[in-house]
């Protein structure tokens, strides 16, 4: 049987508010799988035109797949959310790019005509499951010098990136971080972020029951002076601080994907068309440079150049990682096309969930910018990788060729 390649659309995306990891965080006593269930249910509520039995597969990512993030969470969360038992599911692990990989892994069979509709997601409860919990790195990594020991500590890889690009100074990283906080505060003030959030009921042995409706990590009013006084925990007199890096966070995201003709049949939104995607490997010791080769690969597969991209959603694991990406492509630190709503330095980075947050932001930005034809979502990935997805804006009005 010969099949035609079909267009895949991002139909809708949503997320929980992101919380601070730890005993005092808003989700300290909330299960990770329940975070996913909340987002699944909200997406199905918002998209009532989608019969749940039409969902062909569910993929949910988690970096630490144990406890309430284990048990093949794609399948278990689907059952807990009330999807028909006929809907299968599976788990994904590509560290920080888990949710991004959920989307790309499900998009391929949709393109091939094997699936019609799919549900992608990602979750990380770093309070319950700290990064690296329970892992047992093979001794060959160090014994055979396959990687430097610092490759296993993300903060140290960020310091290594500063070493490689000394012109990307701490002052520039701090200035970028302040801008991220300011853009997030402005986006909240203008009501841009709130519609993407799914309220989550919370409980605390001390505080009782509550309702999480906004992100916990943002620090509005952050200044260069306040960032300049922060400690550099990964290296004495270093450049990476808690202020110019994403924190440790809890949260979940999810998105609906569909083939073009199926979206039309069901009356679903077509918010972004997937153009191309790519993942690339780099030296684990400087994993933050990963978005550069993955973006070059994705652009090449799409027949585009960086000049064709009108909006960028770059995950802010560390400010230096974003600056290295921008510097490589000749984009100014303060370019308004980059992370218009702010990014992970402000709202947080619950590892495997962040890829769909980037996509949801971009889908909303596309609606505000019909003059933009193409945008991308990109992120660095632990152990030396990068991932990029290029999207086309269905609202593009042709008035500007970008």
Catalytically annotated residue among 125, 162, 349, 369: 349
- The sign one gets for the Cα dihedral 89, 95, 99, 105 is negative
Helix or strand holding residue 71 (H, E): none
Which one of 96, 125, 162, 369 is the catalytic residue? Answer: 96
CA distance 65 to 295: 28
Whether the CB-CB separation of 348 and 25 falls below 8 Å is answered with no
Q: Which residues contact 263 (CB under 8 A, 6 or more apart)?
A: 9, 11, 269, 270
Identify the residue whose tokens are 């191309």: 276
Q: Among the options 125, 162, 369, 380, which is catalytic?
A: 380
Which helix (H) or strand (E) is 256 found in, with range?
Answer: strand 249-259
State the DSSP H helix or E strand holding residue 255, giving kind and residue range, or none if neither: strand 249-259
Phi, psi for residue 358 in degrees, rounded to 5: -60, -45
Which H, E and C letters describe 33-65, residue by residue? Answer: HHHHHHHHHHHHHHCCCCCHHHEEEEEEECCCC
Tokens of 211: 């309702």
Task: Assess whether 349 carries a catalytic annotation.
Answer: yes
* CA dist., res. 177 & res. 233, Å (int): 17
Count CB-CB contacts under 10 A for residue 35: 32
Cα 298 to Cα 57, 64, 93, 288: the distances in Å are: 25, 28, 21, 17
Residue 363, SS3? helix
Neighbours of 182 (CB within 10 A): 15
Alpha helices in 145-290 (DSSP H): 154-164, 170-189, 224-228, 260-266
Question: Can you read off the two tokens belonging to residue 223?
Answer: 């200044």
Contact between 374 and 366 under an 8 Å Cβ cutoff? The reply is no
Catalytic status, residue 96: yes
Instruction: Kindly list the catalytic residues.
Output: 96, 349, 380
């Amino acid at each position: 049987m010969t099949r035609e390649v079909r267009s895949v659309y991002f139909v809708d995306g949503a997320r929980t508010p992101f919380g601070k990891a730890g005993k005092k965080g808003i989700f300290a006593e909330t299960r990770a799988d329940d975070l996913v269930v909340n987002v699944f249910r909200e997406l199905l509520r918002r998209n009532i035109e989608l019969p749940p039995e039409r969902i062909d597969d569910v993929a949910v990512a988690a970096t630490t797949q144990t406890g309430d993030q284990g048990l093949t969470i794609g399948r278990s969360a689907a059952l807990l959310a009330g999807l028909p038992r006929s809907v299968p599911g599976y788990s994904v692990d590509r560290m920080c790019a888990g949710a991004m990989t959920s989307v790309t892994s499900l998009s391929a069979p949709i393109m091939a005509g094997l699936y019609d509709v799919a549900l992608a997601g990602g979750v990380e409860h770093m309070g319950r499951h700290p990064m690296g919990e329970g892992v047992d790195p093979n001794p060959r990594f160090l014994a055979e010098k396959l990687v430097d020991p610092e490759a296993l500590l993300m903060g140290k890889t960020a310091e290594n990136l500063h070493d490689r690009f000394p012109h990307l100074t701490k002052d520039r990283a701090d200035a970028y971080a302040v801008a991220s906080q300011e853009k997030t505060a402005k986006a909240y003030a203008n009501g841009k972020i709130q519609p993407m959030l799914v309220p989550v009921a919370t409980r605390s042995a001390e505080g009782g029951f509550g309702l999480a409706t906004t992100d916990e990590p943002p620090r509005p009013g952050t200044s260069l002076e306040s960032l300049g006084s922060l400690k550099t925990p990964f290296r004495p007199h270093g450049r990476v601080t808690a202020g110019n890096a994403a924190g440790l966070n809890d949260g979940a995201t999810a998105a609906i994907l569909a083939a073009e003709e199926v979206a039309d049949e069901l009356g679903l939104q077509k918010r972004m068309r997937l153009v191309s995607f790519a993942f690339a490997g780099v030296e684990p010791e400087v994993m933050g440079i990963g978005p550069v080769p993955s973006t070059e690969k994705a652009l090449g597969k799409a027949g585009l150049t960086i000049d064709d991209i009108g909006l960028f959603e770059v995950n802010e694991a560390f400010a230096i990682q974003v600056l290295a990406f921008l510097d490589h492509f000749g984009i100014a630190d303060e370019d308004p096309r980059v992370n218009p709503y702010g990014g992970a330095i402000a709202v947080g980075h619950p590892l495997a969930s962040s890829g769909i947050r980037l996509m949801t932001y971009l889908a909303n930005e596309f609606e505000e910018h019909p003059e933009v034809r193409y945008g991308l979502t990109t992120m660095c990935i632990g152990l030396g990788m990068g991932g990029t997805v290029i999207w086309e804006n269905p609202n593009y009005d042709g008035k500007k060729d970008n």
